[in-house]
A and B are shown apart, each in its own frame.
Chain A
């Protein structure tokens, strides 16, 4: 599976990260180890370029916005998996336009959204 897309998961809640990791691997993706905070994600992005990313928005009180900006600058597509509703994300232009599958995503919806992001549709 060396051609499988590599996905960056940024999620501070380790059990939810584990769940994302499990679902993505089961669907044949490769997952770069889940990163729990902004600093860790930015550090990783300086050395590595994932094919796509799944981001939680609130990382222990810290907003994921800088990571989203870095991904956009690198032209890496990303989707959100966040409990925030659209109104909460309005103030952050970089997050506003991303698809948010929510926190209690349905597996098939998550995978379909990720696939769309990878295909640039």
Chain B
């Protein structure tokens, strides 16, 4: 091999090396011992939106109006790198005028030229800003999920403790509690699915379907989406009404029916939901002589849970219930 061939080989390898470096998406710099940029790759120019002419030959800390003059980076170049051959994943956070706040992992390696023992410095940047943001989001989501799960247990405990025990057998208590537990579980399933569909109709259908299609009629109004906090109270109200209908109302004889309808109205720029529950052809109804947890649960769920109101009317034809609640339009 003559000298000509060697030069040619070196040049082509140089071109290859340049090609490899340029295909790296991570920004990369080579600095001379004085900290001036010998070369930068395409990833560097694109990530930091700078041009070649403003970069090569200049000191790293003067680049882009001193945007690289970051104390952590200065410390890395002047103190850490001279004492070690390589640094991996050194975290630097800074505000860059063109691309905003960024968190980067900086890796550096000293390169020694075999012919003259001079050193240059290879610096690789990995932008982990998005990854860090995702991690933060994930942590928040995890905390929310934990919070929600514990709330759910608290709600179930409350229902277990509040469900009436007096004058009941253990079986009656268990059935009353499990019915409410079921209403919470179904609400949670609907809340988690959180599809864009009208979830009021899903809840209504879920609550009534066990009675059989011939026992109820739903006249739906406009699609209504309840917010997350409203799904469970609505589910509990419907559960209590259905249970009540089985025990004393329209589902307790053979010919009784429930008719549920809803509509919405606009009041002072807010959308109000009105639900009408009407029992027909059931046995004659009278207001209960003592109010148990069931009626309190309906009331609390409407007022505190839905942020609305509820009215129960014991009409000669059957129970009539009017529920109002603010909803998202």
**Interface residues as binary, A13-56 with B (CB distance below 8 Å gives 1, 0 otherwise):** 11111110010000000000010100000000000000000000
When distances are taken between beta carbons in the complex, the residues of chain A under 8 Å from B146 are 83-85
Asked whether any CB of chain B lies closer than 8 Å to the CB of A108, the reply is: no
Q: How many residues of A contact B (CB 8 A)?
A: 21
- A13: contacting residue among B143, B144, B151, CB under 8 A: B151
**Category for how many chain B residues contact A:** 20 to 34
| Inter-chain contact A103/B158, CB cutoff 8 Å | no
When distances are taken between beta carbons in the complex, the residues of chain B under 8 Å from A104 are 150, 153-154, 157
Q: Which of chain B's residues has its CB closest to A85's CB?
A: B146
Q: Quick one: which of B113-156 are within 8 Å of A by CB?
A: 143-144, 146-147, 149-151, 153-155
**Interface residues as binary, B290-326 with A (CB distance below 8 Å gives 1, 0 otherwise):** 0000000000110011000000000000000000000
Asked whether any CB of chain A lies closer than 8 Å to the CB of B159, the reply is: yes
* CB proximity of A105 to chain B, nearest CB, Å: 9
* Count: A-B pairs, CB below 8 Å: 56
| Inter-chain contact B229/A103, CB cutoff 8 Å | no
* CB proximity of A19 to chain B, nearest CB, Å: 4
Instruction: Spell out B's residues near A (CB within 8 Å).
Output: 143-144, 146-147, 149-151, 153-155, 157-159, 161-162, 229, 233, 300-301, 304-305
Instruction: Spell out A's residues near B (CB within 8 Å).
Output: 12-19, 22, 34, 36, 58, 60, 82-85, 88, 102-104
Q: What are 15 sample pairs from A and B whose C-beta atoms fall under 8 A apart?
A: A14-B300, A14-B304, A15-B158, A15-B159, A16-B154, A16-B158, A22-B161, A58-B147, A83-B150, A84-B143, A84-B147, A85-B146, A103-B153, A103-B154, A104-B150
